[in-house]
Structures are given as structure tokens and as C-alpha cells.
Amino acid sequence: MSLIDELKEKIKVKQPSIVFPEGNDKRVLRAAVRLKDDGVLEPILLGTKEELEEVAKKEGVDISKLEIIDPLNFDKIDKLVEAFVERRKGKVNEEQAREILKDHNYFGTMLVYLKKAEGLVSGAAHTTADTVRPALQIIKTKPEYKRVSGAFLMLRDDEKYLMADCAINTDLDAEGLAEVAQVSNETAKSFGIDPKIAMLSFSTKGSASHERVDMVREATELAKKNNPDLCIDGELQFDASFVPEVAKKKAPDSVLKGEANVFIFPNIEAGNIGYKLAQRFGGFEAVGPILQGLNAPVNDLSRGCVEDEVYLLAIITAAEAVL
């Protein structure tokens, strides 16, 4: 059974509610119908009923069983406004809050914060910043983390790997890289991966000298210091982390022994290029980005996503909420 099938069976028991701010996007709408029909979770679509029914008619799908909320005509908006003003701690007044909550991403994130929904999936028609900003302002990061990072689950048949940070932080220092490694360890475990973390570089164990190599090495040591139980090593080139025969030559003393399954990239350029190479050249399914480090699951789609990717990320989000 694939990871996605396993997750579907587990979350069906609780059927968490997931809010989709982009209810009028045909990819999102069709995925929501599938999720409801499959009995996996309870989708909440944001938008006007008339607008969504028009899209549904064009797509030939039935949305009569879906919950639809219009943020502009929500009978409990006063409670959301009050809670938002309180959460922002004086940074916005009531009038400003009412205007901000017309934004579907802010409105949807408040539903998650107030536990009216258990997770959120957005990004089909919005930038990553549009999804992340409300999450940082409202849901915020867990106490042990200072930042959000973006990970991708890479799936192919029975293979599953995690790659980070591929989506959020343009540049990280050693402390930031160490934190991404630590939170990725948690994410991997939550999806049934026994984490073996490779801190990637263009150098393996001092084969090259550069300040970026030093940073990765320092990040590895910081991560070990912060969490001695981590199975982690670096700096490593990808082949030395993933191919046992290469590991024997380049990094014979590595705890990973060429069997890494969690890959921490030194910067967002490498991460973004790396996961897309695996996706396009290697035939892996890339699910994400999964936003790591938040107090509740909010996840981001690519604007170039297809219906299946919306469907899969919603399952991942639901799993984060209830497992």
C-alpha cells in the first residue's frame, strides 16, 4: 500500500475539515469534490455559492454536499474580527481587521486558528507569500522554532524521501540550516520515514574549501548538539549520501552509509532545482511544499499545480492535523 493510501485509511476515521480559500479555482473545486466523495475529509470552500456553482456547472461536478462559506457574508464575522484584533496585539484595529479578513487566505487561516477547520491548503492562484504571511501572523511558529521552512515529500512506488528547504527561505545561516534539519526530522517521522539526514553540499568531508562548505559543516554540528539523537551527517555531496558504493569511497565513516532519505539543501536555489530534477527526470511525485514549524497545518500549492496535486496535498495536510 502506498503512503497516500495508508494516510487516507487513517484520516478517514476522523475526517478532519480542511479549508480551501481558492474555492472558485476549478482544480481546487474538483479535488474537493473527490475528497468528499472518497470520504477522506470534509472540505470547506471559500467563495460565493453562485460563483462556485457556476464553476461546478462548467466542470460537470456536483458540489451540493460541500460546505461553502462566503467571507463577505459570514454571520459570525464579528467573532473572527475580535479574535484577529486580539491575536495581532494592537497592530490592527477593528476596522482594519474587517478589511483584512475579506482576504480569503486570512479568513481561512482564522478558521484554522479558531479550530473551525483543522488545516488549510492554498496557493493554486496565490503566491507562497500570500499563504505564508497570514499563517505567520495568526497561527505562528511552534515555540522551539524561529522560522517556517518548505519541505517536499518525494514519492515513487514504495520509495519516499523528504527534501528541504525548497520553497521558503532564500538563504539560511548555520543556525537556520540546523533548525530545518531538526524540523524535517519530525516531518519525516510523521510520514513513516525513519530519518537519515544528509546535509548536502558540493563538498564531501573537506574535499573542497569554501565558506558555504564551512556553513553546512557548522549546521550539522549544531543540529547534533541540539538533538543528539539525530541520525545526521554532513557536509556530503548527494552521491556520497545516497549511493552506498560512493559513500564507502568518499565518506567511509559516515553514519548514513549512503542510505540518506532526508536531504537538507544549503540554499533555496539548490533545493528548488533539486526537487524538480527528481520530479521531472526521476519520475517522483512531489507533494508540497509542506510548511514546517507552524502550530497548525497550513500548506502551499504551486500556481502551476494540477488537480491531483491539490488532492494529495490536502491528504497530507489532513494527516498532519490528526495523526
Domain locations along the chain? 1-140+295-323, 144-293
Q: State what percent of residues in the chain have pLDDT above 90.
A: 87
- pTM of the model as a whole: 0.88
* pLDDT range class, residue 36, cuts 50, 70, 90: very high
The domain 1-140+295-323 having CATH identifier 3.40.50.720: the answer here is no
Residue with cell 473551525: 116
Query: Which residues, other chains included, contact 286 with Cβ-Cβ below 8 Å and sequence gap of 6+?
Result: 152, 153, 154, 275, 276, 278, 279
Do the two domains 1-140+295-323 and 144-293 of this chain adopt the same fold?
yes
Question: How distant, in Å, are the alpha carbons of 8, 10, 202, 253 from that of 210?
Answer: 45, 46, 10, 22
The domain 144-293 having CATH identifier 3.40.50.10750: the answer here is yes
Q: Residues 150-159: pLDDT tens digits?
A: 999 999 998 9
Alpha helices (H) in 3-43, listed in sequence order = 3-11, 26-37
Q: Would you state the pLDDT for residue 304?
A: 83
Q: Would you state the pLDDT for residue 208?
A: 87
Following DSSP, what letter does each residue of 213-226 receive, concatenated?
A: HHHHHHHHHHHHHH
Helix (H) or strand (E) holding 311: helix 307-322
* pLDDT range class, residue 305, cuts 50, 70, 90: confident
Surface-to-core class of residue 163, CB atoms within 10 Å of its CB (0-12 exposed, 13-18 middle, 19+ buried):
buried
Q: Residues 239-285: pLDDT tens digits?
A: 999 999 999 999 999 999 999 999 999 999 999 999 999 999 999 99
Residue with cell 500556481: 303
* Cα–Cα dist 47/27, whole Å: 15
Q: Which amino acid is at 182?
A: Q
* pLDDT range class, residue 1, cuts 50, 70, 90: low
* pLDDT range class, residue 3, cuts 50, 70, 90: confident
